[in-house]
Amino acid sequence: MTGKVVVVTGAARGIGQGIAQVLGANGARVVGVDRTAGNGVEFVADISSPEANRDMVAFAVERYGCVDAVVACAAVSRRGPFVEIQPEDLAYTFAPTLYGAFYTCQAGARQMIAQGNGGSVLIVGSVHVHQHNPNSASYNMAKAALASLSRTIAAELAPHGIRVNSILPGWTDTPGELNFATREQLDEAGRRLPLGRLGRPEDIGQAALYLLSDEAAYVTGCELLVDGGITLNTRSANAKGEA
């Protein structure tokens, strides 16, 4: 990744920060983007609008001369029973998680097409694409839509030499998870997973490093599960016809 310019949204904490740190440690020139400053964030913006994403890409080009890759990671989730979800809850989740990711990919792709040197787009999805946890309807919908977007634009952008892939993280130990569980509950949940712990942001960062690097030059339209085996029990049960 030495010298490659990568824009990472949601970079102030959690998975986005983990991706930015791993890429930076491997030579990338990372433009961290978040709606809050600090923790290596260079560009502060709410990426829910197309204008913010255009400005973000323009900032990266002005600072480093080009954009080689974009990582759409920014996301939020407002959980609760399906029958109680209000329009404002749906809008809250969709704005950065779905629409923002769409605009990030679009702004990055437009710049890479203009440059004419190919590039890479990476969408951070979720294991919820395969494991539809209750009380997360709006988040699950957004991530499922992004899975479809990833494969659709992989086909469209391939003639331009732009690869598009997605990572599907499992249960990852991020600050946001403490909004829904205690430290003790998270640690206990991790011990019950096949690999014995929750994921860490740097685990997702290492997967991103591979998919964005030249080592993955022949990989596009890929969904890479990085879930510590959390879906294995579900898949095994389904194979036996169990609920």
Instruction: Output b/e per residue, 3-41; b: 16+ Cβ within 10 A.
Output: ebbbbbbbbbbbbbbbbbbbbbeeebbbbbbbbeeeebb
Catalytic residue among 4, 77, 99, 139: 139
User: Which among 126, 136, 138, 150 is annotated as catalytic?
Assistant: 126
Task: For residue 201, give Cα distances in angstroms to 61, 62, 163.
Answer: 27, 29, 23
Cα(72)–Cα(87) distance, integer angstroms? 24
How many degrees, rounded to 5, is the angle at CA 130 between CA 73 and CA 201? Answer: 35
Determine whether 139 is an active site residue.
Answer: yes
Is residue 218 flagged as an active site residue? no
The answer to whether 4 is a known catalytic residue is: no
From 4, 48, 103, 143, active-site residue: 143
Q: Are the C-beta atoms of 73 and 16 separated by less than 8 Å? A: yes
Q: Could you list the active site residues? A: 126, 139, 143
